[in-house]
Amino acid sequence: MLSKKVILYFILITGGIITLAPFVWMLSASFMYDGHANVYPPRFIPDIFTLTQYEVLFQRLDIGKNFINSLFLSITVTAVSLFFNSMAGFAFAKYRFKGKNKLFNLLLSSMIIPAQVTMLPLFLMLKSVGLINTYMAVIIPGMANIFGIFLIRQYVLSIPDSLIESAKIDGASDFRIYRSIILPLAMPILVTLAIFTFMGTWNDFLWPLIALTDNSMYTMPVALANLMGEHSKDPELMMAGSVVTIIPVIIVFLALQKYYIKGIMMGSVKG
Amino acid sequence: MRIRYSAPYLFLTPALTAIFVFFFIPVIAAFVISFTDFDIYAINNFGTARFIGFDNYKALINDQLFWTSLKNTFYFVIAAGPLSIAISLGAAILLSSKLVRLKPLFRLTYFLPVVTTLVAVAIVWRFIYHPRFGILNYFLEFFGINPIDWLGDPNWAMPAIILMAVWKNFGYNMIIFIAGLQNIPEDLYEAATIDGANGWQKFKKITLPMLAPTTLFISIITMIGFFQLFAEPYVMTQGGPLNSTLSIVQYMYQEGFRWWNMGYSAAIAFVLFLIIFTGTLIQFKLQKSPEA
Amino acid sequence: MNRFLSSSILLILFTFGCGGSGDDKIVIDFWTLGAEGEYILELIPAFEKENPGIEVNVQQIPWTAAQEKLITAVASDNTPDLCQLGNTWIPQFVALNSLEILDEYVSSSDQIKKENYFDGIWSTNIIENKLYGIPWYIDTRVLFYRTDVLAEAGLNHPPQTWEELYDVSKKIKEIPGKKDKYAIYLPANEWASFVIFGLQAGSTILKNNNRYGNFSGSKFKKAFEFLVKFHKQGLAPIGISQVTNVYQAFKDEYFAMYISGPWNINEFKKWMTEDLKDKWMTAPLPGPDENTQGVSLAGGSSLVMFNNSEKKIETWKFIEFLSRPSIQLNFYKLVNSLPAVKDAWNDSTLAGDKYIHAFYKQFHHVAATPKIPEWERIVFSKLQQYAEFAVRGTMTTDEALKALDEDVNNILEKRRWLLENE
């Protein structure tokens, strides 16, 4: 029995090392001077610790601006989409109206359409109203999403109707029921969805790449890819850029991982 | 009690309007555009776009580059899909073992690549694959393997992308598998143990069948995601060397946003949609037929 | 939820609040491609000192995403005042109607005159008799070759004609121990070689005012067959995957000749060290016969002004500044980009570099590729593809060229339609 346990741990720990190695290398190379990562055999610990790469990033390359762009866009998209999705999810879960099931099924089945299909017309649409290269161009397509509506509906279904009925008898308006009963009770799923949306927006690459043209408007991933075009020979600098890019998502994930993992499990219960 | 018929519609309006205007209309528009020759001239002057019927779709049949991108994408989906699912399942089973402690810690570790920004990890992986200074070649050397120019050699570039994609994605499916495993009643295993079944038999006769719905779900989302391969090759290889990592989405992007053949690009997008749609149907069929 | 909203609002205020700079200087937005942007910063203070009222704001765009970014910017009216453009890209932006015509600026300028530039390069900036760009730095392709290998094959000078190129290649292959090696590297995925030899043979590449492909015309065919012959006879490697590192292969004598541009000089210098240091050279391209100097491509980057700029006078001033021989020379010293202005070439840094000399000679014999927006797509997605088929023997040269013309004619269909409906 002991040997089985040893093998089990051996596999798990080896897997863990392989999984983490890229991050460790990223972090350690980001604290090296120019050229110090270009050595053979590879170094996992900086020989001389330095913050120069971060200084270059923030001072000369002004990456702080891109960081704020990403933060602003991710928070805004999260807030707006949470509001829109939760109202729609509530309506689908707790109201009876004509064509409800058809509408809901139409939405669900359209989840299979790859987002890339919409990119070109969306670009032309936003261009015709002058929104390309504005923050709105990134916010607009993220305002509502079908997966979010689905997730919230599933959760709200489990809230007992009796709570809503008694509130109605007390004369509460529909919006009040939504705000004072549904939202507080659905808080766990709202947090989950918030993490999903925040991370999705933060990590998104293709659309911001197309929709934003000014360096000063770029989100972190786009700025990073942009940097790579010019500094592919400075791995230390690129690693520092990568560290700055992933820190917020890692923080959000570590802080709220319970909700996140629960969300994935819920989303998979009934696909 | 008042009956408020308008309430659900009011709640639905913001989200549905946004989805309708910024998702459904573009989808329909893309479909229409795919029957036109909308191109760089038309950007300047919409009037020069013409309806050309199925010409874009017909042209795709003779387009060598399209077939290359199709072949590459299938290579990626067929190799990386099962590989990542197998690793996810393996990790999930190990982590469900009663012998293991610190489960949350392992789970967290394996999950970390999933949440991190793709562009950022692609940068690290580009360096891991570096022919002279990369850690991968360094480790391979211990086994007497000569340095490989991972991203520069047309034969190795796709395997390199696959490896990275598996690393990045297996954690997500692992979580779903863990949830699936938790739903398998414990007494099934106990009964099997009494009947003298060994570990492999239990896996084959209990775990796999009980996980079937989960596996179907995972296969579908993995396939849909992997068919949309873009950012990995965009950042690591630009589709090269020799177009060996050019994916459908990347080709679509190139045609649409580099050469500005938006009509053609939209046609590629719909072919991709059809492939994903067909793939989903096939998986449903495959899953259902053995039981029927 | 309230906290979400309020923090968003705070962020909005913050982001928009730090935008304005406050003083009333005129700011020129200048987009550069690739590494140039980083070095150009060092030249700008001198300009801003001369023109205290003007500030230059440089934005770098990586080459890999440049075309996408630029066209997106045009499509959404977010263009800068001034931009660096690869000179083969100019037609696309002319088609988008976004570039300022520069003829009048030049005719009233003391600084920028046509005579100061190489003719072939200047003409790449002229589309339908209108000037859209001022050459900034230039490049072309010449022959990089191993002097030791060629000498071993009995040739003590670079090949002057096609015939000599072919003969020396055969002899290189016959050198003992060279059986698995090659004479020349002519990869099918570098379309430039095919176009260069086509131009040398006198082909126009396209015909009828660029309405149709002319690849199966006798002149291009002659050139195409000439190049494919090298692959068929084992004088040039067919697969491109065999050469993962051009410099390494050149160093290892895997091939002895390679047609390439000035961007490779420093790389070759880096690899060809110690006893190999003097074993390589550059030379102008061979010509079709003894009496004809072989032409090469007129490449490089131009400075273009966008026609919706509101700072045209200031932008032109800056273009003039960048076109001064002394500034051009400084720029060369910073990034090794060859100066477009001929006067700058008199300086010893350039005149004294033996590898650059071939380029200087070649610049007197450079030709432009067809100046239509479809050009890049034709060569990148079609010419390369059919060249590879022919080289690999998947198609005969006749079949490949015929199919190429068909594809190209399809691409040009829109152009024909537009010309007829003008």
Give domain C142-296+374-420's CATH superfamily.
Answer: Periplasmic binding protein-like II (3.40.190.10)
pLDDT category at B90 given cuts 50, 70, 90 is very high
The answer to whether the Cβ–Cβ distance between B242 and C92 falls below 8 Å is: no
> Of the spans B36-50, B92-106, C202-216, which averages the highest pLDDT?
C202-216
Band (B36; pLDDT cuts 50, 70, 90): very high
**C25-139+299-367: CATH class:** alpha beta
Q: In this model, does residue B237 exceed pLDDT 80?
A: yes
Mutation site for C-interface testing, chosen from B119, B258, B262, B268 by largest number of C Cβ within 10 Å:
B258
In terms of CATH architecture, what is B64-288? Orthogonal Bundle (1.10)
Q: Between chains, do A241 and B138 touch, taking CB under 8 Å as contact?
A: no
| Every domain of chain C and the residues it spans | 25-139+299-367, 142-296+374-420
Report whether pLDDT(C365) > 60.
yes
The minimum CA-CA distance between B122 and chain C, rounded to whole Å, is 16
**pLDDT digit string (tens) for C324-335?**
999 999 999 988
Reading chain A (271 residues) residue by residue, the pLDDT tens digits are 568 888 889 999 999 999 999 999 999 989 998 878 777 777 778 888 889 899 988 987 889 999 999 999 999 999 999 999 999 999 999 888 888 889 998 998 888 787 777 888 898 889 888 888 899 999 999 999 898 998 899 889 888 888 888 888 888 888 899 998 899 998 888 988 898 899 999 999 888 988 888 888 999 998 888 887 666 667 888 899 999 999 999 998 888 888 877 777 776 654 3
User: C308 — contact with chain B (CB < 8 Å)?
Assistant: no
Is the Cβ pair B44, C418 closer than 8 Å? no
pLDDT value of residue A230: 64
Query: Residue B220: how many CB atoms within 10 A of its CB?
Result: 18
Neighbours of B3 (CB within 10 A): 5
Q: What is the side-by-side strand order in the sheet with C280-283? A: C184-185, C257-260, C142-146, C280-283
**C96 with B37: Cβ contact below 8 A:** no
User: How far apart, in Å, are the Cα atoms of C155 and each of A54, C142, C151, C166?
Assistant: 55, 18, 5, 12
Give the pLDDT of residue C90. Answer: 94
Nearest to C76 by CA among B43, B87, B220: B43
Question: How many residues belong to chain C?
Answer: 422
Residues of chain C contacting residue B242, judged by C-beta atoms under 8 Å apart: 189, 240-241
**DSSP H helical ranges for C77-217:** 90-95, 103-107, 119-123, 147-152, 162-174, 191-200
Exposed, middle or buried by CB within 10 Å (0-12, 13-18, 19+), for C14? exposed
Chain B residues lying within 8 Å of A224, measured CB to CB: 117, 119-120, 123
- Paired residues of C55 in beta bridges: C27
CB contact under 8 A, A121 and B33: yes
**Average pLDDT over every residue of C89-93:** 93
Mean residue pLDDT of chain B comes to 88
ipTM: 0.85
Please tell me which of the candidates C1, C62, C72 has its beta carbon nearest to residue A226.
C62
- Measured between CA atoms, how close is A70 to chain C, in angstroms? 11
Determine the pLDDT at residue A209: 84
pLDDT of the residue at B289: 57
Of A22, A145, A225, which has the smallest distance from its Cβ to B128's Cβ?
A22
Instruction: Average the pLDDT over C120-149 and give the result.
Output: 95
Between A235-269 and A2-30, two packed helices, what is the crossing angle to 10 degrees?
130
CB contact under 8 A, B257 and C414: no
Phi, psi of C227 (to 5 degrees): -70, -40
Would you say C37 and C57 are in contact if contact means Cβ atoms under 8 Å apart? no
Strands C134-139 and C299-305: antiparallel
Calculate the alpha carbon distances from C288 to B267, C164, C293 in Å. Answer: 44, 10, 8
Query: What pLDDT was estimated at residue C17?
Result: 41
List chain B residues with CB under 8 Å of C241: 153-155, 241-242
Q: Considering CB atoms only, which of C96, C381, C385 is closest to B44?
A: C96
Question: Residue C421 forms beta bridges with which residues?
Answer: none
Interchain CB distance below 8 Å, A229 and C64: yes
For chain C, positions 36-95, list CB contacts with chain A under 8 A: 37-38, 59-65, 68-69, 72-73, 75-78
pLDDT interval class at C240 (50, 70, 90): low
Considering only CB atoms, B41 lies closest to which of C68, C75, C95, namely C95
Q: What is the pLDDT of residue A43?
A: 78
Say which residues have a Cβ less than 8 Å from residue C32's Cβ, sequence separation at least 6: C40, C58, C59, C60, C61, C83, C84
Nearest by CB: A213 against C62, C63, C72: C72
A213 vs C69: CB contact, 8 Å cut-off?
yes
pLDDT in the model for residue A257: 83
Contacts of C74 in chain B (CB under 8 A): 43
- For B225, the token pair is 């995601």
Instruction: Quote the minimal CA–CA distance from C7 to chain A in Å.
Output: 8
% pLDDT > 70, chain C: 93
Residue C260 pairs in a beta bridge with C142
* pLDDT tens track for C3-20: 444 454 444 444 444 444
What strand order describes the sheet that includes C299-305? C54-61, C26-33, C82-86, C299-305, C134-139, C338-339
pLDDT of residue B152: 79
- What does the block give as tokens for B182? 């938790």
Considering chain A, what percentage of its residues have pLDDT values greater than 90?
Answer: 33
Question: What is the H or E stretch that residue C30 is in?
Answer: strand C26-33
Interval A123-175: pLDDT, tens: 888 988 888 889 999 999 999 989 899 889 988 988 888 888 888 888 888 88
The model carries a pTM of 0.85
**Which B residues in the span 86-145 are in contact with A, Cβ-Cβ below 8 Å?**
91, 94-95, 97, 99-100, 106-113, 115-121, 123-128, 132-135, 138
Mean pLDDT of C231-249: 81
Minimal Cα–Cα distance from C240 to chain B, Å? 8
What is the rounded CA–CA span in Å between residue C202 and residue C223? 9
Q: How far is CA C228 from the centre of its chain?
A: 23
% of chain B residues with pLDDT over 90? 41
Please answer yes or no on whether C76 and A229 come within 8 Å at the CB atom.
Answer: no
Q: Which chains are adjacent to chain A, needing at least 3 Cβ pairs under 8 Å?
A: B, C
| pLDDT at site B104 | 86
A250, B115: Cβ pair inside 8 Å?
yes
Q: How close does chain B come to A192, measured CA to CA in Å?
A: 14
The domain ranges of chain B are 64-288
pLDDT of residue A124: 84
User: What average pLDDT does chain C have?
Assistant: 89
Give the model's pLDDT for residue A16: 94
Q: What pLDDT, in 10s, does the model give residues C174-214? A: 998 877 889 999 988 889 999 999 999 999 999 999 999 99
CB spacing of C95 vs B238 below 8 angstroms: no
C207 closest CA partner among C412, C384, C368, C419: C412
Chains with 3+ CB–CB pairs under 8 A to C are: A, B
Lowest mean pLDDT among A53-57, B64-68, C69-73: C69-73
Where along chain A do its domains lie? 61-269
User: Which residue, among B2, B45, B119, would best test binding to A if mutated, counting the most A CBs under 10 Å from its CB?
Assistant: B119
CATH code of the domain occupying A61-269: 1.10.3720.10
pLDDT tens per residue, range C257-301 = 999 999 899 889 988 988 898 999 999 999 999 888 899 999 999
